[in-house]
């Protein structure tokens, strides 16, 4: 297999793993609380990524300023992001979360326009309107009534939306560090800081006592999240990015919600309404239009700031 073909396979596998991770999280949440899932998941992820840093020989000393910045990124990208997403998954459908988190490139484009002075042309504006129209359809399920706001699933959908915005903030804030540090090393250190921040909440919430409640299915779900979603998928993703341009790699992220849809139907028996499906596809269309010019510029300039920071 050629290096390019191998990169395509790795990008696809990363997208499939992240798509299935929403279902694995919801499965684990049936047995333990959110911060127990996060503590176990990211503890495993740090081990896998640390091994990758050692194998790639990309470790280097880090300045105090970089350590402070990495700690801030850990607070945003691990502690806050995952707390929002896991809390949302506890009360809404895995498929809804998967659709809504694909809005991250839209939020990223808005933040890049506001703070990095990147252009926001007609295609992006059109994509913005279309994407948020799709999000509205997913959240309301086509029911135009204030009663929708009182449903627990609606609160979960808004938490997923907040996690998407939060990850966009993380993506923009990560760009300076990605210019200075190998991506695998950066992700490992960010995850390590985030995990250390999760631990006090985990211990304070008596998370240690919950571990004994995990069944074989629960451990399988957490093992998948820790080893695959927080470990191997990141390695696959950044290895693919090293061989493919940004536009080619970003296209695989559109696979994520479709994988979630299939796996959630099989594992969780989730049913998808026609309105939610159309809304989800509308989100993807909007994201495509917003992302189109950004990935084009990243391909032409080969600028590290154009590289997407992956997420599950």
Question: Mind listing the pLDDT tens digit of every residue in the chain (312 residues)?
Answer: 777 889 889 989 999 999 999 999 999 999 999 999 999 999 999 999 999 999 999 999 999 999 999 999 999 999 999 999 999 999 888 999 998 888 888 888 888 888 877 777 888 888 889 998 988 888 887 666 555 556 667 888 899 999 999 998 998 888 888 888 998 999 999 999 999 999 999 998 888 899 999 999 999 999 999 999 999 999 998 888 778 766 667 778 788 999 999 999 999 998 878 888 898 899 888 888 887 755 555 444 444 334 455 667
**CA torsion angle for 163, 166, 170, 172 (degrees, to 10)?**
120
Distance in angstroms (rounded) separating the CA atoms of residues 229 and 169:
21
Distance in angstroms (rounded) separating the CA atoms of residues 161 and 81:
11
Contact 153, 271 (CB under 8 A): no
Query: Which two tokens mark 269?
Result: 């028996």
Which pLDDT tens digit goes with each residue over 118-160?
A: 777 888 888 889 998 988 888 887 666 555 556 667 888 899 9
DSSP class of residue 150?
Answer: G
Pick the closest to residue 152 from 86, 101, 82, 92 (CA basis): 92
For 172, residues 6+ apart whose C-beta sits below 8 A from its C-beta are 108, 111, 112, 115, 116
Contact 124, 293 (CB under 8 A): yes
Distance in angstroms (rounded) separating the CA atoms of residues 257 and 131:
14
On average, the pLDDT of the chain sits at 86
């Amino acid at each position: 297999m050629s290096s390019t073909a191998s990169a395509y396979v790795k990008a696809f596998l990363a997208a499939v793993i992240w798509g299935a991770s929403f279902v694995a999280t919801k499965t684990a949440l049936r047995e333990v609380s959110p911060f127990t899932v996060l503590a176990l998941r990211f503890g495993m992820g740090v081990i896998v990524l640390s091994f990758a840093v050692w194998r790639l020989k990309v470790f280097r000393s880090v300045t105090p300023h970089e350590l402070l910045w990495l700690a801030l990124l850990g607070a945003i990208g691990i502690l806050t992001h995952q707390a929002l997403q896991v809390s949302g998954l506890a009360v809404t459908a895995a498929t809804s979360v998967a659709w809504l988190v694909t809005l991250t490139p839209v939020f990223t484009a808005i933040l890049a326009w506001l703070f990095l002075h990147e252009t926001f042309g007609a295609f992006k504006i059109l994509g913005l309107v279309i994407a948020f129209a799709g999000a509205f359809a997913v959240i309301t399920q086509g029911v135009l009534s204030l009663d929708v706001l009182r449903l627990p699933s609606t609160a979960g959908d808004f938490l997923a939306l907040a996690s998407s915005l939060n990850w966009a903030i993380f993506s923009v804030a990560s760009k300076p560090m990605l210019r200075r540090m190998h991506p695998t090393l950066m992700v490992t250190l960010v995850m390590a800081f985030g995990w250390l921040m999760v631990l006090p909440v985990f211990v304070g919430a008596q998370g240690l006592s919950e571990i004994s409640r995990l069944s074989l299915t629960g451990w399988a779900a957490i093992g998948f999240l820790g080893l695959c979603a927080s470990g191997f998928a990141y390695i696959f993703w950044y290895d693919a990015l090293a061989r493919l341009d940004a536009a080619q790699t970003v296209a695989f992220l559109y696979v994520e919600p479709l994988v979630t849809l299939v796996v959630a139907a099989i594992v969780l028996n989730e049913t998808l309404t026609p309105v939610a499906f159309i809304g989800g596809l509308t989100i993807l269309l909007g994201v495509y239009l917003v992302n189109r010019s950004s990935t084009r510029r990243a391909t032409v300039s080969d600028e590290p700031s154009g590289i997407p920071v992956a997420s599950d």
